[in-house]
Amino acid sequence: MRKVFKGIVALVVVVIALVACFGSFAEAAPAVTFKLGHIQSESDFWHLGSIKFKEELEARSNGAISLTIYPNSTLGADRDLAEGMQIGTVDFALIAGVLGNFEKTIGLLELPYLFDSQEEFNKIIHGPIGDEIAENVRKSAGIRILNWWDRGPREVTSNKPINGIADFKGLKIRLPEIPAMVVSWKAIGANPTPMAWNEVYTGLEQNVIEAQENPIPFIYGGRIHEVQKYLALTDHKYEYVTVAMSDTSWQSLSDEQRKIVAEAATAATIYENQLVIDKTNEILETMKKGGLQVTTPNKAEIAAVARTAHEEFAKTVDIELYNRIMKELGR
């Protein structure tokens, strides 16, 4: 009987030890696992910023929040990512102007030559108007803008040199699926062709399109300089990408977890914005050494024509908000 009792005691001790070990493992396992998607390659600043965001999330939460990053349109193109955030199948995405298809007011930021400098752009998006637009996106689309990353101005690459506005006439230029950009480029005289980013390299290689426009780091990350000979420094749009989060995912978090997410997004923003400052000119020089030829067309001439489309477009979105932006910029 005594042997049986000792055996039972030993078994109980083993069971308790196993339960304790399992409990420790469960506590160590991540409580929340998130997915972040973007359309760029692993060499792009977006991806490097995403890695920083992941590191900050996981460090600040002591591993209780984990993040898996899906680059190269693995979770879909921009619209797919936005729709995924709406239904909660994508937690985070790096996404920009396509949000205008879900909330019109953010589309005003997509008008080429709306801003003359990075400082003007920052004045709007980091002020009350930017906060208002972000809240509009949350209410209309169920997508929460956590922060805005700088990307630098958008420039044009092409198969022929662009020296002035006449060189844009009839040019078949790829654009994102953003109405504000389409109407402005039509006013300039080009032939806009909306196309998903993951199709652009092949489209240029096969001459389906003749040109595209993007910030310099994006051009380099997408290897566009391999299939285009010329780059025109048009500075036609001071560019951003949002660190966006599904509001469904946000609402599932505790106050402490939300604080961690917001702080991690801010840290990643500081990191990514500094990369743009430090590396953009270096990247341009690398592409020039590889044979890319750079031109400097008259920006004022192009801007004057592009701006003829602004007010009519703004009337279809929110003319009062557009006028407030103009007033804030002193125009």
What residues does each domain of the chain span?
Answer: 31-328
- CA dist 173 → 105, 194, 210, 213, 284 (Å): 25, 8, 6, 8, 21
Q: Which of 188, 178, 119, 117 shows the shortest CA–CA distance to 156?
A: 188
Please give the pLDDT value at position 16: 42
Please give the pLDDT value at position 97: 85
Q: Which of 178, 184, 173 shows the shortest CA–CA distance to 224?
A: 173
Around Cβ 201, how many Cβ atoms within 10 Å? 16
What does the pLDDT profile of the chain (331 residues) look like in tens digits?
444 444 444 443 433 444 444 444 334 445 899 999 999 989 889 999 999 999 999 999 999 999 999 999 999 999 999 999 999 999 999 998 889 989 999 999 999 999 999 999 999 999 999 999 999 999 999 999 999 999 899 999 999 999 999 999 999 999 988 899 999 999 999 999 999 898 999 999 999 999 999 999 989 989 999 999 999 999 999 989 999 999 999 999 999 999 999 999 999 999 999 999 999 999 999 999 999 999 999 999 999 999 999 999 999 999 999 999 999 999 8
Q: Which CATH architecture has domain 31-328?
A: 3-Layer(aba) Sandwich (3.40)
Q: Which secondary structure element, helix H or strand E, spans residue 238, and what is its range?
A: strand 238-246
Alpha-carbon gap, residue 302 to 171, rounded angstroms: 14
Please give the pLDDT value at position 177: 84
Please give the pLDDT value at position 13: 40
Please give the pLDDT value at position 11: 42
Q: Which secondary structure element, helix H or strand E, spans residue 174, and what is its range?
A: strand 172-175
Question: 72 — alpha (psi -120 to 50), left (phi > 0) or beta?
Answer: left
Q: Is the dihedral of CA 235, 237, 241, 242 positive or negative?
A: positive
